């Protein structure tokens, strides 16, 4: 049972439980101190309550804000029978809903006659308002202190300055100290037109600092206005660099998606010469596999995503092998008929998904560890889901390179790619290589679908958005060359992102297409052409 105020007064120096762990002893001591402070707040005079408010604020207790906010709203109280401190959740009717002030645990409803509300006057409310504005600057967690300090920029008042300066002197975290200095400088620049404040704000990327400098640039004081304009010019240069870095990041992330989408196609196209128009639908199956795994494990989206990686590979690989065995092997050497057949298969797969699952898009939940972003500075943050996709694409690429360079399958695939007739003459079973290669390429398409499920909705038309881009990457990089696919995918993704801001999404794709057409006129076999007699022919 929690300590009551009477128990705290009777035995403030009670010995800690010998069986308790050091952590439990620390918690017990903190609760004892908290109960003592709340007792002073309840029983002291208004003059003493003002001192107790400061003691609570300086206690670094994570619950201090909740107590003081409740006190300011007349919702901090004490039960008359047990002396326990409570927070009033709802105070309507004869019975009020309460929660324990120390643990936060709900305590149900109690008659309002059993609840003694700790009263507050207007003078204390004014004090509480000032303290609550800076109380998060006194917690032990530096991330919370940093967020609180940044939130104060542009909101500092004359009443808060003395407390903020005191907190600034005591602060030992560099980022928090810098944010506090910036908040005070914004106030100083707005109220006192102090040129020293411009020196502090020079180089800051926060919107509040830029707004304050913009106001100073309109000042009637020529020297102050000139200094503010100079500082703003430097900040604009830094913002341009950060925007360029952000564009590069999005370009590389888009390029990674293109690499994942195209690398499987590069293998099958290079070995078998098959223009597989159903490659996008194999990606779609990988994405739907991810959605299906989350339906099986609704409470564990992270585990479902991890399990979707092998599952998506297997589903797409098996479907790809089925397509190769049932259709493509009968159309060897007839590329136009193969193209038409695989296009028909793509339509069948789309309609099958619409019939069996739904024509509507499905949303795949992003795991918590893939959500959010890494904040480099206040003008640049990197989203985690795209960062993970870039890493995943790199792992898939390395894995395929290892297969191609270190395994017998890879050796046979390279032999068939360079000269199919000679590979057959050397005893390589080209039919088996075709099956394994098509299954591998299709499985990688499934992996691409797993990755795409984290950045877009899953629907029957998912693959159609990437099939054309995938072929452009393969042709630009060099048919059948993995390094060419990597370089081409990253290059085209970055180029597309660079063009979109001023050309628009559609025109940017047209410009990229025209660029590839002109490039192919000069280098028909792409950036990294195949080697071998068949390639030369």
pLDDT at residue 25, rounded to an integer: 53
Beta carbons of 493 and 254 less than 8 angstroms apart: yes
pLDDT digits (tens, 9 = 90+) for 431-475: 788 888 889 889 999 999 999 998 888 999 888 888 888 888 888
d(CA 414, CA 467): 24
Supply the pTM of this predicted model.
Answer: 0.72
First-to-last C-alpha distance (Å) of the chain: 88
Q: Is the pLDDT of residue 313 over 50?
A: yes
d(CA 24, CA 15): 13
pLDDT at residue 435, rounded to an integer: 86
Q: Name the pLDDT band for 321 (thresholds 50, 70, 90).
A: very high
pLDDT at residue 10, rounded to an integer: 37
d(CA 487, CA 262): 12
Beta carbons of 283 and 421 less than 8 angstroms apart: no
d(CA 494, CA 353): 33
pLDDT (mean) for 157-170: 83
DSSP string, 438-454: HHHHHHHHHHHHHHHTT
- Which residue has better confidence, 417 or 188? 188
pLDDT at residue 4, rounded to an integer: 42
- DSSP secondary-structure letter at 220? S
pLDDT digits (tens, 9 = 90+) for 76-94: 888 988 888 899 898 888 8
DSSP string, 153-194: TTT--HHHHHHHHHHHHH---HHHHHHHHHHHHHHHHHHH--
pLDDT at residue 536, rounded to an integer: 46
Smallest CA-to-CA distance from 208 within 225, 223, 187 is with 187
pLDDT at residue 61, rounded to an integer: 77
- H or E segment and range at residue 99: strand 95-100
Beta carbons of 529 and 481 less than 8 angstroms apart: yes
pLDDT (mean) for 207-221: 90
pLDDT at residue 7, rounded to an integer: 41
Q: Is the pLDDT of residue 11 over 70?
A: no
Smallest CA-to-CA distance from 314 within 293, 285, 343, 291 is with 285
- Which residue has better confidence, 10 or 345? 345
Q: Name the pLDDT band for 30 (thresholds 50, 70, 90).
A: low
Q: Is the pLDDT of residue 535 over 70?
A: no
User: Which residues make beta-bridge pairs with 99?
Assistant: 87, 106
Q: Name the pLDDT band for 387 (thresholds 50, 70, 90).
A: very high
Give residue limits of the domains in the chain: 5-11+21-131, 139-218, 247-374+382-463
pLDDT (mean) for 375-395: 89
Beta carbons of 280 and 469 less than 8 angstroms apart: no
- Which residue has better confidence, 23 or 203? 203
- Which residue has better confidence, 25 or 72? 72
C-alpha radius of gyration, the chain, whole number: 33
pLDDT (mean) for 368-394: 88
- H or E segment and range at residue 416: helix 408-418
d(CA 145, CA 135): 9
d(CA 377, CA 351): 47
Cα three-residue angle 285-290-296, rounded to 5 degrees = 120
d(CA 189, CA 403): 63
Q: Is the pLDDT of residue 331 over 50?
A: yes
Sheet holding 106-111, edge to edge: 106-111, 95-100, 85-90, 76-79, 115-117
pLDDT (mean) for 140-147: 85
Q: Which two tokens stand for residue 40?
A: 């002073």
Tally of residues, the chain: 537
Least trusted range by pLDDT, from 10-14, 29-33, 238-242, 502-506: 10-14
Q: Is the pLDDT of residue 19 over 70?
A: no
Q: Name the pLDDT band for 27 (thresholds 50, 70, 90).
A: low
Handedness of CA 354, 355, 360, 361 (dihedral sign): negative
The backbone torsions φ and ψ at residue 62, rounded to the nearest 5 degrees and listed phi first, read: -60, -20
- Which residue has better confidence, 280 or 419? 280
pLDDT at residue 59, rounded to an integer: 77
Contacts of 494 (CB under 8 A, 6+ apart): 248, 251, 252, 254, 255
d(CA 321, CA 315): 10
- DSSP secondary-structure letter at 252? H
Contacts of 89 (CB under 8 A, 6+ apart): 75, 96, 97, 98, 99, 106
pLDDT (mean) for 376-390: 88
Contacts of 216 (CB under 8 A, 6+ apart): 189, 193, 198, 224, 225, 227, 228
Pairing mode, strands 106-111 and 115-117 = unpaired
Q: Is the pLDDT of residue 143 over 80?
A: yes
pLDDT (mean) for 157-173: 84
Pairing mode, strands 95-100 and 380-383 = unpaired
The backbone torsions φ and ψ at residue 330, rounded to the nearest 5 degrees and listed phi first, read: -85, -10
Q: Which two tokens stand for residue 509?
A: 């794709």
pLDDT at residue 22, rounded to an integer: 53
Q: What is the mean pLDDT of the chain?
A: 84
pLDDT at residue 135, rounded to an integer: 78
């Amino acid at each position: 049972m929690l300590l009551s105020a009477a128990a705290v007064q009777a035995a403030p120096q009670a010995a800690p439980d010998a069986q308790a762990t050091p952590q439990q002893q620390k918690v017990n001591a903190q609760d004892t101190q908290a109960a003592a402070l709340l007792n002073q707040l309840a029983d002291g005079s208004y003059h003493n309550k003002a001192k107790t408010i400061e003691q609570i604020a300086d206690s670094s207790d994570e619950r201090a804000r909740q107590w003081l906010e409740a006190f300011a709203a007349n919702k901090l109280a004490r039960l008359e029978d047990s002396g326990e401190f409570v927070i009033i959740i709802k105070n309507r009717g004869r019975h009020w809903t309460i929660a324990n002030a120390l643990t936060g645990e709900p305590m149900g409803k109690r008659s309002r006659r059993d609840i003694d509300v700790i009263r507050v006057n207007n003078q204390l409310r004014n004090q509480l308002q000032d303290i609550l504005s800076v109380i998060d600057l006194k917690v032990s967690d530096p991330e919370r202190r940093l967020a609180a300090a940044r939130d104060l920029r542009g909101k500092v008042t004359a009443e808060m300055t003395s407390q903020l300066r005191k907190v600034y002197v005591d602060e030992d975290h560099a980022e928090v100290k810098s944010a506090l200095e910036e908040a005070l400088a914004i106030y100083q620049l707005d109220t006192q037109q102090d040129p020293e404040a411009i020196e502090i704000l020079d180089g800051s990327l926060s919107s509040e600092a830029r707004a304050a400098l913009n106001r100073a640039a309109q000042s009637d004081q020529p020297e102050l206005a000139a200094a503010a304009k100079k500082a703003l010019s430097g900040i604009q240069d830094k913002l341009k660099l950060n925007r360029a870095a952000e564009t590069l990041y999005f370009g590389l992330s888009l390029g990674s998606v293109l690499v994942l989408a195209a690398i499987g196609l590069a293998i099958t196209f290079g070995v078998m010469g098959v223009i597989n128009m159903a490659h996008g639908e194999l990606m779609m199956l990988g994405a739907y596999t991810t959605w299906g795994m989350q339906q099986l494990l609704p409470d564990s989206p992270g585990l479902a995503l991890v399990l979707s990686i092998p599952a998506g590979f297997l589903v797409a690989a098996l479907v790809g092998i089925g397509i190769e065995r049932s259709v493509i092997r009968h159309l060897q050497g007839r590329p136009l008929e193969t193209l038409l057949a695989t296009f028909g298969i793509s339509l069948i797969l789309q309609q099958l998904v619409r019939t069996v699952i739904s024509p509507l898009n499905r949303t795949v939940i992003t795991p918590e560890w893939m959500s959010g972003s890494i904040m480099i500075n206040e003008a640049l943050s990197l989203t985690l889901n795209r960062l993970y996709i870039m890493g995943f694409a790199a792992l898939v690429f390395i894995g395929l390179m290892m297969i191609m360079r270190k395994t017998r399958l890879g050796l046979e695939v390279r032999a068939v790619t360079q000269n199919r007739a000679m590979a057959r003459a050397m005893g390589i079973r080209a039919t088996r290589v075709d099956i394994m290669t098509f299954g591998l390429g299709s499985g990688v398409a499934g992996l691409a679908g797993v990755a795409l499920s984290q950045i877009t909705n899953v629907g029957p038309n998912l693959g159609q958005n990437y099939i054309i881009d995938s072929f452009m990457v393969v042709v630009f990089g060099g048919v059948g060359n993995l390094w060419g696919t990597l370089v081409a995918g990253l290059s085209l993704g970055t180029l597309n992102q660079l063009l979109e801001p001023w050309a628009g999404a559609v025109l940017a794709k047209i410009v990229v297409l025209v660029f590839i057409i002109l490039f192919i006129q000069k280098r028909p076999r792409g950036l990294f052409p195949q080697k071998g007699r068949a390639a030369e022919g």
